[in-house]
Amino acid sequence: MRGKLIVFEGLDRAGKSTQCNRLVESLQQDGQKVRHIKFPDRNTPSGQMINSYLKGESQQNDHVIHLLFSMNRWEAAPSILKDIEEGTTIIIDRYYYSGCVYSAAKNNPTLNLKWAHGPEEGLPRPDICIFLDISAEDAAKRGGFGSEKYENLQMQARVRELFGYLMQSSPEKDDFVRIDAAGSLNHVQQRVKEVVVKAMGRVDAEHLPLR
């Protein structure tokens, strides 16, 4: 049986890492083969360039950095497909949805959602994308944002707006399940598990490439 491809998305500080870890643990306890990955993967050469950009140690043109993020996802695509084929479920912390909205949130007149979508087309499509929803203000209250490039209130508010658009009006809208992430960790964890169990029970998706 094929593995599932499960993506977590949300603003910075929405609780993605915690919920990914808890879900991975819980699925492993259920006896499933699970692999946890995170984008950007800062270890590859493209990831090191992204890391240095996010930390403010280097500059990149908006289009160039988008293509680097996209390249970073494409590098992992063959191993994602291989694992799914072999029955391993993959949990991904951020994917091309972040890719599109963070890049488009810059309001660069030549870099809209449609442009950002282009290089992502063909990547393995998830079975489900769980959007951990929290307002930019509530995210900021969680001990403040970090010091990386996009971790400020204005950017995060714009990112949330664009995620809202993706969930409502884009061709990918049916990929999403929104979970209110303002509640307690345990409550969110429980909702996540319910949603995942439901997705697991569905007929295997074919992981058609994104169009």
Residues making contact with ligand DGP (CB under 6 A): 12, 40, 54, 65-66, 69, 94, 98-99, 102-103, 150
> Considering only residues 5, 9, 10, 12, which one is a binding residue for Na ion as defined by CB under 5 A?
12
CB 30 within 8 Å of CB 193:
no
Nearer to ligand DGP, 100 or 192 (CB): 100
Closest approach, Cβ 24 to Na ion, in A, equals 14
CA nearest neighbour of 122 among 82, 94, 81, 63: 81
Looking up tokens 């590859």, which residue turns up? Answer: 44
Closest approach, Cβ 206 to ligand DGP, in A, equals 25
Q: For Na ion, how many residues bind (rule: CB under 5 A)? A: 3
Question: Considering only 14-22, 57-65, 78-86, 153-161, which stretch makes contact with Na ion by CB under 5 A?
Answer: 14-22
> Considering only residues 2, 17, 21, 200, which one is a binding residue for Na ion as defined by CB under 5 A?
17
Nearer to ligand DGP, 66 or 125 (CB): 66
Who contacts 111 (Cβ-Cβ below 8 Å, separation ≥6)?
Answer: 62, 63, 66, 103, 104
Looking up tokens 């493209």, which residue turns up? Answer: 46
Q: What is the per-residue DSSP string for 34-89?
A: EEEEESS-TTSHHHHHHHHHHTTSS---HHHHHHHHHHHHHHHHHHHHHHHHTT-E
Nearer to ligand DGP, 41 or 183 (CB): 41
